[in-house]
Structure 1
Amino acid sequence: MHLLVLNGSIEISGAGLHIVKVPYEWFSYPYMIFDWGVMLPVESSLPIYKVFAYVFNWEVFVLIIVLLILLSALVTVSDKIKQSNRPFSIFDFFFNIDCFRGILGEPFLGITKPSFTIKLIYSLIFMLGIMIVTSYDAFLQSFLTHPPKENIIRSFDDLQSTGLKINAIQSDIDELLNKLRPELMQKHSNLFLAQTNFKDFSKTRDSLNSTNGFTVTEPKWKTYEDKQKFYGQDLFRWCEELCFLENILAVDCLNFGQRRRFMN
């Protein structure tokens, strides 16, 4: 970047001070601090048929079964005590069809002249049915409006499992990752697709090709974040969990007087 300014190829350069080995007095104010990380393609939404299972997870299912067995036993035992001549079924003890329909929010035929205990049990079934049905409907409508993402990436291990790659410049890999993040490169070096031509890299990144991810600085990401709004949907996202370096100190440009002298 320093040499490009000196030979007049570019007007303003930006580079980390730990990379550019030139006197600090050659640089002009302001200095810029930014994070360097990854912009990843937005994960695909969960298919609609999986949303139903996503809402009704196994913990809720087990809880409902336990409550169904408990309420069925209470109703059966209370009914047996009130009507001793009524035949007793062990199936009713574990699965009372009236309790099951009540939990699902459906009407059911109750016991004739129920006791206070059975009325209380019916009230519990009624309230449980309202809670389950309204909660399920609320979560379902919310997930159908904004479907949850599938295979959300929160770490480099998650990224490894998806098969996605990160496009990066070879010089960045050599000067930044290999030197400052050696532990990361030892474990996840196969995640990177190294490119030697910055123009080709920048052109592919500017096209928002969502086949793979790209290394990007946070200020540059703001540009892409605004740009993708024209597509009507988010194609990429800034992944804070995959940030390589934080608070990198960089410079805006060379001293104007020095730059003019070298350009001339």
Structure 2
Amino acid sequence: MAWLIFLLFCIVNTGAQLSAITDTSNLDLEKILLTLLLRLQHENFFDTLLIYGEDCVFPSLSRRLPVSTVLASSGTTDFDWNYSSLTLILSCGFEAEKEENYRTLMKLQTNRRLILLQEDIQPESVCNFYSKKEQYNIAMVKENFPKSGLVYSCRLFQDQNYEKVNIFKGSPIFINQFRNMRGAPIRTITDDLAPRSMVTLDPKTGEKKWIGYVANLLNNFIKKVNATMVMQVKLNELEGKIFFVNISKWTANDLLDIGMSVDTTWEMDNFDTFTYPYLMCSYCFMIPLPDEVPYNEVFAVIIYPSVLVMLLVLFCVFSVMLIYIQQRTWRGLSLTSILMNDMCLRGFLGQPFPFPRQSSRKLKLICLLLCFASLMITTMYGAYLKTFLFSPPPKPMMRTFSDLEKSRYKVAMNWAEMDMLRFENDRKLQRVSNDRVEIFEDYHQFVSLRESFNDNYIFPVNSLRWETYNEQQKLFHHRVFYYSNDFCLTRYSILSFPIRRHLPYRDLFEEHILRQKEFGLLKHWMDRSFLDMLRLKLTPYEDFSAPPEETAIYVDDLYWILGIYAVALSISCCCFALELLGSLSWWKSLKKFMWRGFKN
């Protein structure tokens, strides 16, 4: 509480103190620097001081401020900076900061720096020195600061690279210079992968411009900071083909500022060259819809083993009840009499059977239930058969990699995906044989094959790209592919923009990403992706589904039914012949008939 009261008191009396400074030429440097630090803390709060060097007033001055202080007397911290980002950096001279720790340089790149110039060093050379290290929030004071009251602040986007700020006039010392870059170039390149980035011509100027849910975000950022987009098309000639993996590599090598593409961070340990996550999606396979069951297999599809077992049990129950009620004893029960019961066989097949005379009420009830069961069974299987013959059901969908091995499909992969997903080190495709994988070196050839909806392959695709494929299939006569949520490479993939490691306006770009997503622009761009692709003729208005086949049933489709019928008829004839041969009375009658004919 005492600190807050003291701070408010200092702020209120800053004007009076500065007026007194002009009249007092012998005011010591430490007192006016303390006043300057209080003003800087009022403009932008800091709770930590990092002081490079020790041969100046800064170390002793820090004792008078109630903030944490880290003293790097040798010019470097020699440890990873894990303190709060609200840090003000003080340097005891032009070359006092000799930071060599990479992580500390990254985390403190955009922090404000106040440098005490003890020699006759020009501010222009100091600003040039720090601009080479891409550190731009630089302010300097000279030893005559109590008399002049001038702070030299570096300015990037103007002819003179510094500005004299008189602290008595209240002008800001530090400003966010990248909010207006005054036409400065931002180097980028696009992978031209629809719908993320699609090239079109401006109807007014005739120049190329790019649209899409990736390109639009970068376009809006360039307009926001008043910069200029510069496409580094020479990289295609010098470094090889344009691909999002190459764009990430070029950005990490400082050849680009921001890549007009997004890349996954599956196996990244260091995210210095990637922004805050822009998109999250799954990465699964688009699989051809299963073929319809052939007509010659429909008769087997409608028969479920569990239903057959239940009907067999019901048949035995009816048979036992009929035999027992008719004979009123259990002695007539045998395996043959139960399984070959004539009334039950006819009843379950929906055929008429002789009704026993002088039957009891119980027997009539059993026969009534038998008729009802036969009606239900024949109706059920008749409805199944007619429905499946009119519209055959599809075969089971692919669920696992084992199903892939049993199918007729191959996995179409690109070389970059194979590098991440192949067999070594517990890769996702470890259980897939080499014969089932076809690798395409040319990524555009792979994309063209996928866009042709070739149903001989299954293709890896992220859920964002699948949305456009799904919309395209609404133009087809029938769907060709489906997106499998069970057959995936990863169900949670993060996509980020590749950026240069020491990009000084990284914080502005990440803030821009969050604002665009918060305003719903990302969802709007993604919803319009397929319409934009149609308008730019990147997606043909063409039906890639196979033409509907004729639904006629041929004799070949009844092969199994006719075969089973022939076998059953043969068995019946054999049984009938055995019954005739086993009947002695029939042989005697035949013998007498033939003897009478011989006498006549």
State the 1:131 CA deviation.
2.8
Q: Aligned equivalents of 1:3 and 1:211: distance in 2?
A: 37
CA RMSD of aligned residues (A): 3.5
What is the SS of the residue equivalent to 1:149?
Answer: coil
Structure exhibiting the larger radius of gyration computed from Cα positions: 2
Q: Aligned equivalents of 2:267 and 2:483: distance in 1?
A: 25
What is the SS of the residue equivalent to 1:188?
Answer: coil
* Partner residue in 2 for 1:45: 292
Q: Aligned equivalents of 2:416 and 2:423: distance in 1?
A: 10
State the 1:184 CA deviation.
3.4
* Partner residue in 2 for 1:14: 262
1:155 aligned residue (379, 382, 400): 400
* Partner residue in 2 for 1:262: none
State whether residues 278 and 496 of structure 2, in contact with CA within 8 Å, keep that contact through their aligned partners in structure 1: yes
State whether residues 80 and 88 of structure 1, in contact with CA within 8 Å, keep that contact through their aligned partners in structure 2: no
* Partner residue in 1 for 2:525: none
* Partner residue in 2 for 1:63: 310
* Partner residue in 2 for 1:184: 428
Letter in 1 for 2:394: K
What is the SS of the residue equivalent to 1:74?
Answer: helix
State whether residues 166 and 214 of structure 1, in contact with CA within 8 Å, keep that contact through their aligned partners in structure 2: yes
Q: Aligned equivalents of 2:340 and 2:309: distance in 1?
A: 14
Structure 2 vs 1, CA of residues 194 and 88 (structure 1 numbering), >3 Å: closer, same or farther? closer
State whether residues 422 and 430 of structure 2, in contact with CA within 8 Å, keep that contact through their aligned partners in structure 1: no
* Partner residue in 1 for 2:358: 113
State whether residues 421 and 428 of structure 2, in contact with CA within 8 Å, keep that contact through their aligned partners in structure 1: no
Q: Aligned equivalents of 2:333 and 2:478: distance in 1?
A: 61
Letter in 2 for 1:7: Q
Q: Does 1:101 align with 2:352?
A: no
State the 1:162 CA deviation.
1.5
* Partner residue in 2 for 1:249: 494
| Structure 1, unpaired ranges of 5+ | 259-264
State whether residues 277 and 494 of structure 2, in contact with CA within 8 Å, keep that contact through their aligned partners in structure 1: no
Structure 2 vs 1, CA of residues 88 and 43 (structure 1 numbering), >3 Å: closer, same or farther? closer
* Partner residue in 1 for 2:439: 194
TM-score, normalising length: structure 2: 0.37
State whether residues 168 and 215 of structure 1, in contact with CA within 8 Å, keep that contact through their aligned partners in structure 2: yes
TM-score, normalising length: structure 1: 0.78
State whether residues 73 and 94 of structure 1, in contact with CA within 8 Å, keep that contact through their aligned partners in structure 2: no
1:135-154 correspondence runs (5 A): 135-144=380-389, 146-150=391-395, 152-154=397-399
State the 1:110 CA deviation.
0.9
Instruction: Give the fraction of aligned pairs with identical amino acids, expressed as a percent.
Output: 25
What is the SS of the residue equivalent to 1:242?
Answer: strand
Q: Aligned equivalents of 1:157 and 1:4: distance in 2?
A: 41
Structure 2 vs 1, CA of residues 17 and 57 (structure 1 numbering), >3 Å: closer, same or farther? closer
Query: How big is each residue's C-alpha offset from its partner over 1:222-260, in whole Å with a ceiling of 9 and x where there is no partner?
Result: 2112222333122111122211012211036879x98xx
Q: Aligned equivalents of 1:114 and 1:185: distance in 2?
A: 70
State the 1:132 CA deviation.
1.6
Structure 2 vs 1, CA of residues 253 and 131 (structure 1 numbering), >3 Å: closer, same or farther? farther
State the 1:208 CA deviation.
0.8
Q: Does 1:235 align with 2:480?
A: yes
How many pairs does the alignment contain? 249
Query: How big is each residue's C-alpha offset from its partner over 1:93-139, in whole Å with a ceiling of 9 and x where there is no partner?
Result: 53232222222333333112310120121122123223322332343
State the 1:146 CA deviation.
4.7
Structure 2 vs 1, CA of residues 253 and 23 (structure 1 numbering), >3 Å: closer, same or farther? closer
Structure 2 vs 1, CA of residues 252 and 136 (structure 1 numbering), >3 Å: closer, same or farther? farther
State the 1:92 CA deviation.
4.9
What is the SS of the residue equivalent to 2:358?
Answer: coil
* Partner residue in 1 for 2:326: 79
| Structure 2, unpaired ranges of 5+ | 1-186, 191-230, 237-241, 243-258, 506-600
